[in-house]
Amino acid sequence: MKRGLLIISNGKGEDSIAVTLLEKLKLVAKEEAAENIGVVALPLVGEGLAYKDREYYAAASWRVLPSHGFTSPAGLCRDLRRGLLDNFRQQAKIIYREAANADLLVTVGDIMPLLLAAFYGRGRKIAHIATAVSAYLRSYSLPEIWLFKKYVNCVVCRDLRTCEELQKNGVNAFYSGNPMMDDPLLAPEQINLGLDKRRRRIVLVPSSRADAYLNILRMLEIVRRFPPKNNFQFVLTMAPGLELDLLGRMLAAETEWRLDEQPDKRRPISAELLHANAPPVIVISGHFRACLDGAVLALGMTGTGNEQIAGLGIPLALFRGRSPAASGRRMRHYKKLLGEAVFIPRGSDRRKAESLNQLLGSGRQLQRMSEAGRERIGAAGGAYHIARKIWYYLHSA
């Protein structure tokens, strides 16, 4: 008999994690020589493009709200004005409708998808993939622990410390690695990027959302403070959905940088960003993992990408920007979550560049940062074991 799965995720990064688990679930079904599972996905934030790209059925999609899923009092107020409560009502109706044909509900993210599943999921079994909370950030509250005990069959934790804390409180918690490290974007690539391997690579990671352009402008202000002649090679990794033309117009309007397109289709380099008094920045569209391989440092102004960078063992420098993912609050969040893997330079832009130069001259500190990132995030491979756990609950009585 074909089993039904309803998966509910609460953000772009969570959608990606959910798709990673669904792909591993296909592998488990093949190993079990079982019929494919009927999957319905419900992204709670945005359009759910990760599901659509992999041809999973998404029960609904939503207009992107101002906060982009980054919760803050101001962001919440803006979201409420733009229809957040209407979204919740519609989502509750969809969950109640789709749960009728589901044998298991899987919630991915913070407590919100779990609340919706608990109260509108017709009493179906629930597995919660707890990507948003870590004991490195905070402990789960008593109401959350009560919710887990009453409604959830299994809580999948993002790190061992959190799992052990929940188990001490009587929650059926499970840990087998962080599934975000199994994202297909992190799969090793056999590709020649055409970069100078003799120079130390610094990668700019601006996010994949519309705020990426503002983040790029902010990071270029730091790069401009490096001496034009140095032993570093600056590489900007642009998500495929971002537009070079728009970046070029913004650079021309707001900075002294200019975009020099490289139309040669035989190599991944798509452009260079040039400034009369700064080192050039090479632009590569896509190839996120290949850009990071061999990097000595990443300048991160993104969301899930920051955690993945740290998990790969690459030292991470954070800067405050105008986007929700690069707010002061999020920087404090990542410092607590990732510990010594994160470096936050202080002072003027010139002082920040000087601090980065000092960091890059300390092999011992860079090694400590690399080890801390791997320890806090965990290695790849967990997604398969989590999929196995989902399979168990999907087929258990």
Asked whether the beta carbons of 372 and 340 are under 8 A apart, the reply is yes
pLDDT at 154 over 80: yes
How far apart are alpha carbons 157 and 178 in whole angstroms?
Answer: 8
Residue 209 to residues 68, 242, 302, Cα–Cα distance (Å): 9, 8, 9
Task: Return the higher-pLDDT residue of 327 and 295.
Answer: 295
CA angle (110, 22, 67) in 5-degree steps: 35
Confidence at residue 165, expressed as pLDDT on a 0 to 100 scale: 97
Check pLDDT > 70 for residue 113. yes
State the pLDDT at residue 308: 95
DSSP letters, 189-250, are --------TTSEEEEEE--SSTTHHHHHHHHHHHHTTS-SS-SEEEEEEE-TTS-HHHHHHH
What was the pLDDT predicted at 372?
97
- For 34, 102, 242, the CA distances from 2, given in Å and listed in that order, are 9, 10, 39
320-360 pLDDT, tens digit each: 877 777 788 888 999 999 999 999 999 999 999 999 999 99
Q: What is the mean pLDDT of residues 135-143?
A: 95
For the chain, what percent of residues have pLDDT higher than 90? 75
Which pLDDT score, from 0 to 100, does residue 79 have?
Answer: 66
The highest-confidence range among 101-110, 176-185, 296-305, by mean pLDDT, is: 101-110
Q: How far is CA 230 from CA 62, 227, 302, in A?
A: 46, 6, 26
Rounded CA separation 383/374 (Å): 16
The chain-wide mean pLDDT, for the chain, equals 91
pLDDT of residue 76: 57
| pLDDT value, residue 71 | 55
Q: Order of strands, edge to edge, in the sheet holding 104-108?
A: 38-43, 4-9, 104-108, 125-130, 154-157, 173-174
pLDDT at 2 over 90: no
Compute φ and ψ for 62, nearest 5 degrees. Answer: -135, 150
Percent of the chain at pLDDT exceeding 70: 93
Tell me if the pTM is above 0.75.
yes
Which CATH number describes the domain made up of 4-177+381-395? 3.40.50.2000
What's the pLDDT band for 96 if we cut at 50, 70, 90?
very high
Q: Give residue limits of the domains in the chain.
A: 4-177+381-395, 186-377
Mean pLDDT lowest among 208-212, 219-223, 250-254, 297-301: 208-212
The yes-or-no answer to whether 4-177+381-395 and 186-377 have a common fold is: yes
DSSP 47-83: --HHHHHTT--BS---PPPTTTT---HHHHHHHHHTT
Average pLDDT over residues 239-244: 88
* All residues at 6 or more sequence positions from 132 whose CB lies less than 8 Å from its CB, including other chains: 10, 109, 110, 111
Residue 81 has pLDDT above 60, yes or no: no
pLDDT score, position 208? 79
How many CB atoms within 10 Å of residue 138? 10
What CATH number was assigned to the domain covering residues 186-377?
A: 3.40.50.2000
pLDDT of residue 381: 92
Q: What pLDDT was estimated at residue 207?
A: 82
Predicted local distance difference test score (pLDDT) of residue 265: 61
